[in-house]
Amino acid sequence: MKSYLVLIIGMMVVTYIPRLVPLVVLSDKPINPMVERFLKYIPYTALSALIVRGVMESKGELLVPTFVGLAASAICSWIKGSLILSVAVGIVTSLVVISLR
């Protein structure tokens, strides 16, 4: 049990340091608008990569719920523009389709 606690604390520190260092180092400096625009697209790009991989790997009985959830998520994203809301709508829609089958 104690080794798990040390492992979890170590992973927490290793995850936290790369987030803290840029915040401390760059907090006083202005960011180039081009870099700022680039950084705004990272969450959407990462999410798109995960979604495309999930859609390409879906098979059998999960194929229909995957595409219905993807369509609902895309429509919600287009209308609302909220990343979190789009993910939630896609998950809920997929779960509803799975439960109806």
pTM value is 0.60
Domain hosting residue 91, numbered range: 30-100
Whether residue 57 lies inside any domain: the answer is yes
Residue 70: how many other CB atoms lie within 10 Å: 18
Contact 69, 91 (CB under 8 A): yes
- pLDDT band for 35, please (50, 70, 90 cuts): confident
37-62 residue pLDDT tens: 998 888 878 878 888 888 888 888 88
User: Residue 18, Cα to own-chain centre: how many angstroms?
Assistant: 19
Determine, yes or no, domain membership for 22.
no
Which residue has tokens 């790369």? 18
Instruction: Please list the alpha-helical segments (H only) found in 1-101.
Output: 2-26, 33-40, 42-57, 63-80, 83-100
- The predicted structure's pLDDT at residue 41: 84
Task: Provide the number of structural domains found in the chain.
Answer: 1
Domain contains 5: no
